[in-house]
Amino acid sequence: MNELDAVSLGREFFYHAVLLTAPALAISLIVGLAISIFQAVTNIQEQTLSFAPRILALAGLFIVSMPWMLQMSIFFMVQMFSRAAQIGH
């Protein structure tokens, strides 16, 4: 394995990591922003108010997107194992 192979593996790892975490980050950001706007409008300053809706939104997201996330993770692992087998020969 040379430097180019290592950089390529690292790039693919980070690409898949960002691809798998981006939906959760986006949902958390959107729900947090909506709760913050709600708190500003109603003048409610409870810090724990934003946690429960975020957790519920993320749980719903994971339920909906789990097949896609598993498919992407399995694809990445199969690709990495096949590359490891090619490098080992």
Residue 89: pLDDT band (50, 70, 90) is low
CA–CA separation, 25 vs 49, rounded Å?
Answer: 18
- Tell me the pLDDT tens digit for each residue of 2-27: 788 788 888 999 999 999 999 999 99
- Tell me the pLDDT tens digit for each residue of 34-52: 999 998 899 888 878 888 9
pLDDT at 86 over 80: yes
- Dihedral sign from CA coordinates of 55, 56, 57, 61: positive
